[in-house]
Structure 1
Amino acid sequence: MMQGPISTALYSRTLIDTLIRFGLVALLAMFCFEIFRPFLNLIVWAIILAITLYPLQTRLRGKVFAGDGRTATLIIALVIAVLLVPTYLLGMAVIESVERAMDIARRGEFHVPPPAESVAGWPVVGQRFYDFWLLAATDATALAQKFAPQIKVASITALSAVGGVGVGLLMFVGALIIAGIFMAYGELGERSAIRIMSRITGSDRGPRLTALCTATVRAVAQGVVGIAFIQMLLIGIAFVMAGVPGAGLLALAILLLGIMQLPATLITIPVILFVFATDGMSVGNVVFAAYVFVAGLADNVLKPLLLGRGVEVPMPVVLIGALGGMVTGGILGLFIGPIALAVAYQLFWQWVDQPPLQSVETTVKASTEPSSLPTGPGVGEE
C-alpha cells in the first residue's frame, strides 16, 4: 500500500540530488572557464602550432638530440629566428605606412589631380563624384574638415589595427614557446587526446576522430594559412626593399587574400605597374617585377607540397572562418578561425554519415536472429 508514495518520494529526492550535483558541476565549469578565458586564444594557437610542427620533430628526433625536449627547443628556436625578423620588418613597415599617411593628411601635402570633364557625364553618380573629386583637388583642407569625424574614426581604427599587429606578434611568439612545451610531451598529449575523444564519442570512434582532427588541423595550417604566410613574407620583403608605399599594409592584404584562397596577383600586378609608371624600366625594376610576379604564383607550387592528403575542406568554409575569426579575434583569429571551422566541418559530416542508432540496432538484431528461410530437404542443395 505504501509502495507508491515511497517510490515517488525516492524519485523526487534522487532528482533533486542530481540537479544539485549538475548545478555545482556547471558552476565549477563556468568558474574555471572564466579563469581560463584570457589564455584561450593563446592555448588554441599553441595547440595548432604543436600539431603542425610535430611531424618535423618526429623526423629530427634522434638525429640531432636524443630527447624530445631538446629537439622541440631547437625547432622552436629555428622557427622564431626564421620568421621573427621578416615579420618584425613587415610590422614596422605597417606602422610606418600608417604614420606616414596620417602625417601627409595632417599637413595637407597630399595633392589630387583635377578630374576630367567627362567624369560629370557618368550616369547616376557622375556629377556627385565629379564635385567630390574637384573639391579634393582644389581644397583638400575643406574636404578634410567636412569629413573630419569619419577621418578620426578611420585613424582610430588604423591605430587599433597597428596595435593589434604588435599584440599578435607577441602572442605568436608566446604560442610558439608553449607549442614547444606541448611538443616535448607529444606522445603523452596524443594518448590524452585519444582518451578524451574516446570518452566523448566511444572507444571505437575515439582514435579515428582524433586522427581526423589532427589531419584537418595540419591540412589547413600547412596548406592554407602556412602558404599564405610564406607568400606574404616573400612578397612583403620585396615590397619593403623596393620602397613601395604602404608595403606593410599591402603585405597584410596579401596574407588575407591567401587565407581567402584568392590569388596574390590581385595586388602584385598593380604594384608592378605602379613601380614601372613611377620609376621607369630599369634593370632593378625588371628583376623586382619578375620576382614579385613569380612569388605571387608560388602558392600553385606550394599547395601540392604542403596541403594535407585525404582531407578536403571547401573554400567557403575557410573563407568564412578567416573573416569571422578576424572580426572576433583580430590577427590571431585570422589564423585560428579557418582551422577551427574546418575541424568542426569534418566532425559534423562524420556525425551525419554515422548510421542512426535505430538502424544499427535493427542490423544487430537481424544478424542475431535465426534465419526465417525454409530449411527443409532440398534447400540449398544442388
Structure 2
Amino acid sequence: MSNNRIMGLNNARELLDVLIRAGLIAVLVMFCFQIFHPFMNIVLWSVILAITLYPLNQKLAATLGDRHGLAAVIVVILGLACLIVPMGLLGASIADSVQANMHTMQGRTFEIPPPPAVVQTWPLIGEPLFSLWTHASENLSWVFSQIAPHLKDLSRTVLTRLAGAGAGIMVFVLALFISGLIMAHGDSGQRTALAIATRISGPEHGPGLASLCTATIRAVAQGVVGVAFIQMVLVGIGLVVMGVPGAGVLALLVLLVGIIQLPTLLIITPVVLYVFFRDGVGVSSIIFTVWLVLAGLSDNVLKPLMLGRGVAVPMPIILIGALGGMLSSGIIGLFIGPVLLAMGYQLFMSWVYQPPPVTTSESGTADPGKPLD
C-alpha cells in the first residue's frame, strides 16, 4: 500500500472523527436548548436587570462596607417597591373601572345622548350617521343586541391579554430575584463574561466586546424601558388623581407606546380633551393638562441622558425589537426584544467597521494586507 493511500485513509478517518464529534455536539446543543427554552425569557430578563442595576448595587455596596449581598437585597426590595406600588394602583383602577361598567350594563343606566343637529349637515356621512345615532339614543335595547356579540369576543381577547400581562409581571418579579443573586456574585460573573468574550473574539477584541454588550444593554434598558416606565408612572398618577375612567389601561398603553417609540401624546391628547369636555375649563383641568403634557414630553429630556451613554442605536431597531419581541414572546418580549436586537446591531456594526490588522513588512513599512502571525 502506497504512502499516498495511507495518508488518504488517515485524512478520511480524521474527517469522519471530526464530523462525528460535530454531530454529537450539535445533538447535545439541541437537547440543551430544548431543556433551557422554557426558562430562556426569565434568564435573559434576569441578566438584563442584573447588568442594568449592577452600578447601583456597587455604589450601595461601597457605602455598606463592600457587603454586596446586602446591597443586592436592598436593590431587589427597591425594585419590587417601584413595581408593586404603581402596578397596585393601576390594577385597582382597572378593577374599579370594570366594576363600574358592569354595574352600568346590568342596571341599564347607560344612556346615549341624542346627536346634535350639526351632524346632519356633514357631507356624505351626515345623514346615515344622524339616523343611526338617533335610533341608538331612542332604543337602547337595540344597541345592546347589536354590540353584545362583539363585546363577547372582545372581552375574551381582553381577558387573554390581561392574563398575559399578569404572567409577564410574575416573570419580572421572579427575574428580579434572580438578578439579585447575580448581582451578589457580580465579580465572578464579570470575570466569566470577560472570559467568554475573550474566547469568542480573542484576547485583543474580547474586553471590547464585553464592554460593548454591557454598555448597550444598560443604555437601552434605561433609555427605552426605563423612560417608558417613568412616563407610565407619571401619567398614571395624573389619571388616578383626576379620576379618569380606565386609568390603569391608559397607563399601560402609555408604557407600550413608549417602548415602541411612538409619541405618548397619541394617548394623552384624547384624555385631555375628554377631561375638558367633562369638567370644563378650570384650574384642575389646566393643571392636569400641564402635568400630562410634561409627562408625555419627558422622554425628550430623559432619553438623551440615559440612551446616549456611549451607544447610538437607531430608533427603527428599537421599534422592530419591541414589536418582534412582543409577537414572539408576549408581553415580556416587549422588554427583552429591544435590548437583544440593539445588542446584536451594535455587535454587527462593530464587526463591520473593525479595522484590519496592521503588520510590519520586512522593509519596515506597514502592511495592512497581511494578518499577524
Which deviates further from its counterpart, 222-231 or 10-19?
A: 10-19
The answer for the alignment partner of 1:300 in structure 2 is 300
Instruction: From the superposition, tell whether residues 75 and 65 of structure 1 become closer, same or farther in structure 2 (CA, over 3 Å).
Output: farther
The answer for the alignment partner of 1:38 in structure 2 is 38
Map 1:1-382 to 2 at 5 A: 1-97=1-97, 110-113=110-113, 116-119=119-122, 121-122=124-125, 137=137, 141-142=141-142, 145=145, 150-355=150-355, 360=357, 363-364=358-359, 367-370=360-363
CA contact (8 A) 1:72 1:181 kept: yes
Cα distance in 1 for residues equivalent to 2:173 and 2:90: 16
Cα distance in 2 for residues equivalent to 1:148 and 1:74: 49
Letter in 1 for 2:177: I
Cα distance in 2 for residues equivalent to 1:6 and 1:228: 68
Instruction: From the superposition, tell whether residues 182 and 129 of structure 1 become closer, same or farther in structure 2 (CA, over 3 Å).
Output: farther
Instruction: From the superposition, tell whether residues 19 and 246 of structure 1 become closer, same or farther in structure 2 (CA, over 3 Å).
Output: same
1:219 Cα offset (Å): 0.8
1:26 Cα offset (Å): 1.4
1:165 Cα offset (Å): 1.8
Q: Structure 2: which 5+ residue stretches go unaligned?
A: 366-373
Instruction: From the superposition, tell whether residues 8 and 56 of structure 1 become closer, same or farther in structure 2 (CA, over 3 Å).
Output: same
CA contact (8 A) 1:238 1:288 kept: yes
CA contact (8 A) 2:322 2:337 kept: yes
Cα distance in 1 for residues equivalent to 2:318 and 2:342: 7
Which deviates further from its counterpart, 300-309 or 311-320?
A: 300-309
C-alpha RMSD over aligned residues: 2.7
1:287 Cα offset (Å): 3.1
Cα distance in 2 for residues equivalent to 1:104 and 1:35: 49
The answer for the alignment partner of 2:371 in structure 1 is none
CA contact (8 A) 2:49 2:176 kept: yes
* Cα-to-partner distance string for 1:278-332 (whole Å, 9 max, x where unaligned): 1234443333333223222222332343334221111111111111112222221
1:112 Cα offset (Å): 4.1
Letter in 2 for 1:239: L
Letter in 2 for 1:240: V
1:254 Cα offset (Å): 0.9
Structure 2 counterpart SS, 1:66: coil
* Cα-to-partner distance string for 1:23-81 (whole Å, 9 max, x where unaligned): 22111111111111111111111111111111112222231343111111111112212
Letter in 1 for 2:16: I
The answer for the alignment partner of 2:368 in structure 1 is none
1:227 Cα offset (Å): 0.8
State the identity %.
49
Letter in 2 for 1:8: G
The answer for the alignment partner of 1:379 in structure 2 is none
Cα distance in 2 for residues equivalent to 1:94 and 1:350: 45
Which deviates further from its counterpart, 106-115 or 172-181?
A: 106-115
Cα distance in 2 for residues equivalent to 1:120 and 1:98: 37
Instruction: From the superposition, tell whether residues 92 and 328 of structure 1 become closer, same or farther in structure 2 (CA, over 3 Å).
Output: farther
CA contact (8 A) 2:91 2:248 kept: yes
CA contact (8 A) 1:219 1:308 kept: yes
TM-score when normalising by structure 1: 0.85
Instruction: From the superposition, tell whether residues 135 and 188 of structure 1 become closer, same or farther in structure 2 (CA, over 3 Å).
Output: farther
1:233 Cα offset (Å): 0.6
1:106 Cα offset (Å): 7.1
Instruction: From the superposition, tell whether residues 213 and 113 of structure 1 become closer, same or farther in structure 2 (CA, over 3 Å).
Output: same
Instruction: From the superposition, tell whether residues 93 and 27 of structure 1 become closer, same or farther in structure 2 (CA, over 3 Å).
Output: farther
Instruction: From the superposition, tell whether residues 299 and 2 of structure 1 become closer, same or farther in structure 2 (CA, over 3 Å).
Output: same
Structure 2 counterpart SS, 1:61: helix
Instruction: From the superposition, tell whether residues 120 and 12 of structure 1 become closer, same or farther in structure 2 (CA, over 3 Å).
Output: same
Cα distance in 2 for residues equivalent to 1:195 and 1:206: 8
Instruction: From the superposition, tell whether residues 232 and 299 of structure 1 become closer, same or farther in structure 2 (CA, over 3 Å).
Output: same
Structure 1 counterpart SS, 2:330: helix
Structure 1 counterpart SS, 2:161: helix
Cα distance in 2 for residues equivalent to 1:215 and 1:99: 45
* Cα-to-partner distance string for 1:197-245 (whole Å, 9 max, x where unaligned): 1111211111101101111111111111101101101111221232211
Instruction: From the superposition, tell whether residues 95 and 332 of structure 1 become closer, same or farther in structure 2 (CA, over 3 Å).
Output: farther
CA contact (8 A) 1:120 1:130 kept: no
Instruction: From the superposition, tell whether residues 10 and 303 of structure 1 become closer, same or farther in structure 2 (CA, over 3 Å).
Output: same
Instruction: From the superposition, tell whether residues 127 and 63 of structure 1 become closer, same or farther in structure 2 (CA, over 3 Å).
Output: same
Which deviates further from its counterpart, 54-63 or 299-308?
A: 299-308
